[in-house]
C-alpha cells in the first residue's frame, strides 16, 4: 500500500486495482467483480473540539496524528475502493460544555445529544462528511453516528480507563454514514459488529462483499446516509415474507418484489447487511425478526431515550407510566411490557436503555416523526 499526504488530505492507494469479492456468509449473494480502481473519494472535515472548561472536550490530537488516524481508516476501507480524504482540520470551540458535563453523569442515552449541542452548524462541510473529535467520552461511548439533522460522526481520542482508541472505531462509525448497520449474521471481527466477545481490537477489520456494495451505493451520493422512511406492505409481520416472495421460491429479493414494495425490500435487506442483488431465505428472515428487527421504519438505539422522555414524560418525573405511554400506535406502548425489566409498571431511562442495547434495533418510527 502507498500513502500520499498533502497539506490538507491523506490518501491511501492499494497496489491491486481489481479484486474478486466472495459472497458474504449466511446469505445467497452473486459473486461480482468489484473494480476498486474506480475509487470513490469522500471529503471529510475534521472538527477538533477545544474547551478550557472541560478537558474531556479539549482534543489533543495534532494534525499529523489525525492524518494517521485516517490513514489507518483507509487501510480498512480500501477493500471497498473508498478513500476518506481530509478536506480540512478545523479547531471548533465546544459550545455547550455544561450540557456535556451533565450528560457524562449518566451518559447512556444522553451523551450523543449533548455532543450535538457542542457543534456549530455553520462550521460544517455541507458537501461531504463531518467528524467531530473530542478527547475522552469515558467508558460510555467510543464513537457514534447521528444521522439527523447533519449526519455527524463523533469520535474521541480516548475511552476512559481503556486509554487510546483504535482508528478502527472511527472506521466503524464511518461505515454507518454509508448505510451499514450493525451486523446480524457476520462475525469474525467484521468491521460493523457491535460490542461482543468476538470483536477484538485490530488495526483493520474485514468487510463483506455485500457490505461493500451497500457502502459504495451510498458513497456515490457524496453525503451521509439518512435512514429512509418506508412503510411495510402488510400490517402483520407474519404475512410479510409471503408478500415479498412473489415467485414463491423460499427466498426474497428486491428484483422480485412488486415495484411499489421495492424501496421497502431494499431497506430491509440493507438492515440485514445485504445488497440489492442478494437474497434472504425464510430461515434467515425469521432469525432477523426474532432478533427484534422490525422490517419498517428507522433503526433506533439507546440514543433515542431522551427523545422518548421528551415526548411521553408529561409530568417530568423522569419515569414513564402506562398511562403516559397510552398511545396504541407508539413503539413505547407496544414495548412497555418488554422494557419494564422489574415489572413495576414504570419505565426508567436505565430500563429502556438496557432493553435497546440488548435488542439494538427497535425500528419503528415514533408517532409524528
The most confident of 154-158, 193-197, 306-310, by mean pLDDT: 154-158
Sequence ranges of the chain with CATH classification 3.40.390.10: 33-219
Cα gap 146→224, rounded to integer Å: 10
Instruction: Identify the pLDDT of residue 303.
Output: 59
Q: Over 60: is that where the pLDDT of 301 sits?
A: no
DSSP string covering 272-328, please? TT--TT-BEEHHHHHHHHHTT--SSS----GGGHHHHHHHH-TT-SS-EETTTT--T
Q: Are strands 82-93 and 40-50 parallel, antiparallel or unpaired?
A: parallel
What would the grid cell of residue 76 be?
A: 480498512
Q: Which CATH architecture group holds 302-358? A: Orthogonal Bundle (1.10)
* Best CATH choice for the domain 33-219 from the list 3.10.580.10, 3.40.390.10, 3.40.50.1970, 3.40.50.300: 3.40.390.10
Pairwise pLDDT comparison (304 vs 45), residue with the higher score: 45
Instruction: Identify the pLDDT of residue 244.
Output: 96
What is the mean predicted confidence (pLDDT) over 199-218? Answer: 92
Report the chain's mean pLDDT, rounded to a whole number. Answer: 83
- pLDDT tens digits for range 114-138: 999 999 999 999 999 999 999 999 9
In 10 A of CB 322, how many CB atoms? 14
Instruction: Identify the pLDDT of residue 196.
Output: 65
Instruction: Identify the pLDDT of residue 5.
Output: 35
Instruction: Identify the pLDDT of residue 35.
Output: 63
Q: Say how many residues make up the chain.
A: 369
| Model confidence band, residue 3 (pLDDT cutoffs 50, 70, 90) | very low
Instruction: Identify the pLDDT of residue 329.
Output: 61
Sequence ranges of the chain with CATH classification 1.10.238.10: 302-358
Q: Which of 110-124, 154-168, 293-307, 329-343 has the lowest mean pLDDT?
A: 293-307
Cα gap 244→224, rounded to integer Å: 28
Looking at residue 330, the DSSP 8-state letter turns out to be: S
Stated pTM of the model? 0.73
DSSP string covering 39-96, please? -EEEEEEEEEEE-SS-GGGS----HHHHHHHHHHHHHHHGGGTEEEEEEEEEEEE-S-
Instruction: Identify the pLDDT of residue 4.
Output: 35
Looking at residue 181, the DSSP 8-state letter turns out to be: -
Amino acid at each position: 500500500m502507498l500513502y500520499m499526504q498533502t497539506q490538507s488530505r491523506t490518501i491511501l492507494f492499494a497496489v491491486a486495482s481489481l479484486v474478486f469479492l466472495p459472497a458474504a456468509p449466511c446469505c445467497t449473494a452473486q459473486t461480482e467483480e468489484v473494480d476498486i480502481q474506480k475509487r470513490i473519494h469522500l471529503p471529510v472535515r475534521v472538527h477538533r473540539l477545544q474547551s478550557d472548561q472541560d478537558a474531556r472536550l479539549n482534543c489533543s490530537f495534532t494534525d499529523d496524528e489525525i492524518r494517521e488516524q485516517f490513514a489507518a481508516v483507509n487501510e480498512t476501507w480500501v477493500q471497498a475502493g473508498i478513500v476518506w480524504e481530509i478536506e480540512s482540520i478545523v479547531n471548533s470551540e465546544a459550545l455547550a460544555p455544561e450540557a456535556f458535563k451533565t450528560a457524562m453523569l449518566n451518559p447512556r442515552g444522553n451523551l450523543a445529544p449533548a455532543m450535538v449541542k457542542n457543534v456549530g452548524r455553520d462550521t460544517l462541510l455541507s458537501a461531504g462528511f463531518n467528524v467531530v473529535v473530542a478527547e475522552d467520552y469515558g467508558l460510555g461511548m467510543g464513537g457514534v453516528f447521528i444521522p439527523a439533522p447533519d449526519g455527524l460522526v463523533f469520535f474521541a481520542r480516548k475511552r476512559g480507563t481503556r486509554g487510546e482508541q483504535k482508528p478502527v472505531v472511527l472506521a466503524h462509525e464511518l461505515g454507518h454514514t454509508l448505510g451499514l448497520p450493525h451486523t446480524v449474521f457476520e462475525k469474525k471481527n467484521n468491521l460493523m459488529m457491535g460490542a461482543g466477545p468476538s470483536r477484538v481490537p485490530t488495526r483493520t477489520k474485514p468487510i463483506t462483499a455485500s457490505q461493500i456494495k451497500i457502502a459504495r451505493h451510498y458513497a456515490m451520493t457524496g453525503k451521509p446516509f439518512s435512514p429512509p422512511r418506508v412503510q411495510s406492505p402488510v400490517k402483520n409481520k407474519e404475512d410479510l415474507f409471503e408478500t415479498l416472495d412473489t415467485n414463491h421460491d423460499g427466498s426474497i429479493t428486491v428484483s422480485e418484489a412488486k415495484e411499489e414494495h421495492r424501496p421497502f425490500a431494499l431497506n430491509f435487506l440493507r438492515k440485514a447487511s445485504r445488497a440489492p442483488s442478494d437474497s434472504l431465505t425464510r430461515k434467515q428472515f425469521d432469525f432477523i425478526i426474532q432478533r427484534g428487527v422490525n422490517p419498517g421504519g428507522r433503526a433506533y438505539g439507546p440514543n433515542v431515550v431522551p427523545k422518548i422522555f421528551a415526548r411521553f414524560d408529561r409530568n417530568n418525573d423522569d419515569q414513564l407510566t402506562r398511562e403516559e405511554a397510552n398511545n396504541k400506535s407508539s413503539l413505547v406502548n407496544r414495548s412497555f411490557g418488554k422494557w419494564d425489566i422489574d415489572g413495576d409498571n414504570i419505565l426508567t431511562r436505565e430500563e429502556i436503555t438496557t432493553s435497546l442495547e440488548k435488542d439494538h434495533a427497535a425500528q419503528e418510527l415514533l408517532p409524528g416523526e
